[in-house]
Structure 1
Amino acid sequence: MLLYEGTTCWRVGVAPRAAFLLDMADYFLAARDAMSKARRSIHLLNWAFDPDTLFDPEPGCTGPDADRFGAFLKELAGSRPELDVRVLCWKSPMPIAATQDFFPLKARKCFAGTPVKFVLDGALPLGASHHQKVIVIDDAVAFCGGGDIGPDRWDTPDHLDNNPRREKTSHDNKCFDSRHEVMTVVDGAPARALGQLFRDRWLRATNETLPEPDVLPPSAWPASVKPDFRQVSVGLSRSVAAWRQVKQVRESEALYLTSIAAAKRCIYMENQYLTSPIMAEALAARLAEPKGPEIILISTQHSPSYFDQMTMDRTRSVFLKRLQDADKYGRFHAYSPITALGHTIIVHAKMAIIDDVLLRVGSSNLNNRSFGFDTECDLSIETPRGARGAAQRSRILDIRTRIIAHWFGCDDRVVQAALHKAGRVGSAIESLRLAGYCRLRPLAPTPIGPMATFIATFHIGDPITPHDSWRPWTRRARLKAALAAAARKVQRAGLPTPPRRLSKKSI
């Protein structure tokens, strides 16, 4: 068991239905379908929320105003007085808001004087962000993952070059970059728990207590989504920084460490970043084992923003080198995806598949701030071992196959055949690359100069906790303490234990 309340997760419950959504085109349509069926409430948590986002952009990135998130929510709230519609969005600093088309100002203006209750949430330490991405409908069905509401988030699994449906405006030829996101949708107890997550955040931001519903209406499950799982165990893991009367929560970090330590065959990860020395050390320890699991990492070739290129990308290069050096048995494979014409696909997904027993999707990056500085929420599906969980475990492997196939732009059966012949995921990917499927290219460390070395050494832009957010010279000590504390906590719970110390190569 990897999902353990109070250690690796906040809540564990059985979902009557759960589904995995690959990329945002399907998510946006599923969310619109579910929200249109709402009877009591629609509650949104987001890092970014742009009300002009189209659910289903037409060629030229056009569409009727009614097909935009903001107008849709206003119409629902206006036509159904009994419906409680709330949007809680991070109160981002102006320089960051500017990179996202000033979404806080646009949303505030959009919802002013309407029944939609829109709040910018700045109740957190200076420099931290609210990074959760959740939609809860009636406390009966909920979406959770890594995708925000913004025009640049929309894409299909084809990741087509020059897709007119990703054009920034209707009068130029520029397109948003291809972008990869993943989400989940669940109903039942996990959806109700995500409703409580929203109420907790709303109380913290506004001092207003929202009542918990006594009786829930039928689940507004989106008709377009076929459940991947039924009656499956689902856990919710959070990150919360210590701030004023709020206690620190590091469940997201604990689940990563425990599941990495427990893996027997394969750790498949997709993430925007890899800058956490704690995660690098945990992965390196498994690579050093003669019979440890193989590790597959999918990440973007380079971050879209210059700041992230200077901070996150440089540190990632150091840790890629660390993992390559630890890989004595040829089990580490890192790749960045490209389109058919060789353009970068932005990997914004934050997910992991551990063997065939855990499927994890959420908002947590593999960086320091996601585990103890920012506010995060991840949803994990855990399947039973033995014959009882065989069908669910098979479904997790089917999802992993589907993801790999989508990277190569091929049919699932092509990947299944390669896996059957190679016996290992990394070997199958390499065989497909040799066969001409070249949309995954190796992601290798690059040499870094003195300034980049300084940034990586002190993790500039990537705090561990609020205590070191403005004192980067204390971060190495904080990292050591955080890993030791996490190891003690999971050991007390009887869970697989990660390394207790950071090697000199990881700090």
Structure 2
Amino acid sequence: MSNLFKPGKNCWRVEHADRSAVLIDGENYFRAVRKSLAQARQRIMLLGWDFDERVEMHDTAEEPEGPLKIGAYFDWLLKKNRDLNIYVLRWDTGALKSFFRVNGLLTLIRWYFHPRVHFKLDSHHPVGAAHHQKVIAIDEDTAFCSGIDVTNNRWDTRAHEDKDSHRLQPDGNDAGPWHDAAMVVQGAVACALSEYAVQHWQDAGGKKIKAVTVKGDCWPKDLEADFTDCPVAIARTMPTMDDQLGVHEIENLCLDLIAAAKDFIYAESQYFASARIAAALAARLSEPDGPEVVILNPQSAEGWLESEIMDSTRARLFEAVRAKDKYGRFRIFHPFNEAGTPIYVHAKIMIIDDRYIRIGSSNFNNRSLGFDSECDVAIDASEFEGDEISSQIARVRNDLLAEHLGVEEREVGSLLEETGSLIATIDRLNTPGRGLGPYETPDVGAVEEWLADNDILDPKRADDVIAGII
């Protein structure tokens, strides 16, 4: 057991994983999902913020078996296996746009009358909140926990080319470069994620779910595991409701991970908009021997409203943290491809030193840490003899940086060993084109003037944090 993971405080449960692997970017994720779904014997459960039956699961490395579109692929699986039931639970508010797609509406109507497809819109949330977790559980044997919805605008290769015909959306437009991440697990932790999915289905008012009565191997064929025989923590966010106590395990886990860091805090998040996370980072950056902090964000949040709110919040928090960064150990970067086009960061990753890795659906914002429903998984290498797991965690971090910098993973590892610094390693390997651009605060003067009147990292009341940054 981990000394850091505390069920009931910063995680829900800690369960054993026979195998687990990190999947970087949409192509690798959808390839693994296809292969795992193909081995399902009795039950597939999919929980998501969004679901689009038109999604095409392209594969540039292998010839996929079965239809490319996920809706047609489900139909294909159901015809092949008469014992298979498929359950899809998606956020109700986000589903409204589906009813304006003729093909989508026809598929939903057809599935409504299918005896082994069960589709439910989840309205079990407060007004304005979202059902945001992304979990796929297969036969209580294998499960995916990620930031990737089975929807359009998620597929991309790790090359993040400027133009890619496989990224064309139903309207014919290229969705653009998109970076994401997931973890797949097998064993008792997958069974726990299946229980989590069943509970959400029941809370949403779904019909009784058929039990899994057979044991099969649903691990994606030919996928090499990154970690074997290790415990994995499951952490959640659940909003307070009349019939439900609020759960803030993910926020507590993030704060505990930040406190545990010795050398490096590396994170990828769609947003940087949590004052509590920012305050915890600022405290560590104030220490003479504290860790370096490197965060990857998209250049700008997606959508005009998110951009207006989240980008202005990020500017304020960035300057507030930088003011506490006495030793120059804090950076926010944005990735760009070879053509200089921004790559949208949708991944939700946190890697602490070579000891801890967390992947899931939650961002560094107030919604993810207290208002929406979220699910993350995490691994702790500090309690294991030898360095096999810690070396793999380091390899994942270095591999992510190598992707963003357009170099080989071994180059990152070698230079990091030489410099002892993530920031120095990035600076040395960064080149024009494919690389990482530093975050620059828009209208620094206005932000600094605002900060002079609002100490958002040390508010007098909790409400001041929310009122101050939004």
Q: Fold match, TM over 0.5?
A: yes
Q: Which residue of 1 aligns with 2:245?
A: 247
The one-letter code of the counterpart of 2:204 is: A
Q: Partners in 2 of 1:305 and 1:259 — Cα distance?
A: 30
Q: Which residue of 2 aligns with 1:210?
A: 209
Q: Which residue of 1 aligns with 2:400?
A: 403
The one-letter code of the counterpart of 1:119 is: K
Question: Aligned-pair distance for 1:78?
Answer: 3.7
Q: Which residue of 2 aligns with 1:283?
A: 281
Q: Partners in 2 of 1:72 and 1:345 — Cα distance?
A: 29
What do residues 234-267 of structure 1 show as CA deviations (whole Å, max 9, x unaligned)? 0000000011211110000000011101111110
Q: Which residue of 1 aligns with 2:326?
A: 328
Q: Partners in 1 of 2:18 and 2:113 — Cα distance?
A: 38
Identity of counterpart residues, as a percentage? 34
Q: Which residue of 2 aligns with 1:306?
A: 304
Q: Which residue of 1 aligns with 2:11?
A: 9
For 1:119, what is the secondary structure of its paired residue?
strand
Q: Which residue of 1 aligns with 2:108?
A: 108
Q: Which residue of 1 aligns with 2:71?
A: 70
Q: Which residue of 2 aligns with 1:495?
A: none
Question: Aligned-pair distance for 1:98?
Answer: 7.6
Q: Which residue of 2 aligns with 1:423?
A: 420
Using the TM superposition, name which of 99-108 and 298-307 deviates more: 99-108
Q: Partners in 2 of 1:55 and 1:94 — Cα distance?
A: 21
Q: Partners in 2 of 1:158 and 1:110 — Cα distance?
A: 37
The one-letter code of the counterpart of 2:253 is: L
1:73-152 pair list within 5 angstroms = 73-93=74-94, 97=97, 105=105, 108-109=108-109, 111-114=111-114, 115-152=116-153
Call closer, same or farther: CA 1:37–1:175 in 2, change over 3 Å: same
Among candidates 217, 223, 238, match of residue 225 of structure 1: 223
The one-letter code of the counterpart of 1:256 is: C
The one-letter code of the counterpart of 1:404 is: L
Call closer, same or farther: CA 1:101–1:181 in 2, change over 3 Å: farther
Q: Partners in 2 of 1:52 and 1:506 — Cα distance?
A: 38
Q: Partners in 2 of 1:155 and 1:98 — Cα distance?
A: 23
The one-letter code of the counterpart of 2:43 is: S
Q: Partners in 2 of 1:224 and 1:285 — Cα distance?
A: 44
Q: Partners in 2 of 1:98 and 1:443 — Cα distance?
A: 36
* 8 A contact 1:356–1:394 mirrored in 2: yes
Q: Which runs of 5+ in 1 are unaligned?
A: 460-474, 481-501
Question: Aligned-pair distance for 1:337?
Answer: 0.5
What do residues 255-287 of structure 1 show as CA deviations (whole Å, max 9, x unaligned)? 001110111111000000011111110111100
* 8 A contact 2:53–2:104 mirrored in 1: no
Q: Which residue of 1 aligns with 2:437?
A: 441
* 8 A contact 1:281–1:506 mirrored in 2: no
* 8 A contact 1:357–1:393 mirrored in 2: yes
How many residues were matched structurally? 460
Q: Partners in 1 of 2:25 and 2:135 — Cα distance?
A: 15
Q: Which residue of 2 aligns with 1:164?
A: 165
What do residues 367-415 of structure 1 show as CA deviations (whole Å, max 9, x unaligned)? 00111110000011111346x0411001100111100000012111221
Question: Aligned-pair distance for 1:506?
Answer: 7.9
For 1:381, what is the secondary structure of its paired residue?
strand
For 1:280, what is the secondary structure of its paired residue?
helix
The one-letter code of the counterpart of 2:47 is: L
Q: Partners in 2 of 1:427 and 1:368 — Cα distance?
A: 31
The one-letter code of the counterpart of 1:223 is: K
* 8 A contact 1:383–1:389 mirrored in 2: no
Q: Which runs of 5+ in 2 are unaligned?
A: none
Call closer, same or farther: CA 1:102–1:397 in 2, change over 3 Å: farther
Call closer, same or farther: CA 1:31–1:438 in 2, change over 3 Å: closer
TM-score where L is the length of structure 2: 0.90
Question: Aligned-pair distance for 1:440?
Answer: 0.3
Question: Aligned-pair distance for 1:207?
Answer: 5.2
Call closer, same or farther: CA 1:338–1:437 in 2, change over 3 Å: closer
Q: Which residue of 1 aligns with 2:52?
A: 50
Q: Which residue of 2 aligns with 1:393?
A: 390
Q: Partners in 2 of 1:313 and 1:102 — Cα distance?
A: 35
Q: Partners in 2 of 1:196 and 1:39 — Cα distance?
A: 17
Q: Which residue of 2 aligns with 1:488?
A: none
1:312-391 pair list within 5 angstroms = 312-385=310-383, 388-391=385-388
Q: Partners in 1 of 2:15 and 2:198 — Cα distance?
A: 18
The one-letter code of the counterpart of 2:146 is: G
Using the TM superposition, name which of 219-228 and 346-355 deviates more: 219-228
Among candidates 32, 35, 38, match of residue 37 of structure 2: 35
For 1:15, what is the secondary structure of its paired residue?
strand
Q: Partners in 1 of 2:333 and 2:106 — Cα distance?
A: 37
Question: Aligned-pair distance for 1:477?
Answer: 3.9
* 8 A contact 1:281–1:503 mirrored in 2: no
Call closer, same or farther: CA 1:66–1:438 in 2, change over 3 Å: closer
For 2:281, what is the secondary structure of its paired residue?
helix
Q: Partners in 2 of 1:430 and 1:93 — Cα distance?
A: 40
* 8 A contact 2:98–2:105 mirrored in 1: no
The one-letter code of the counterpart of 2:111 is: F
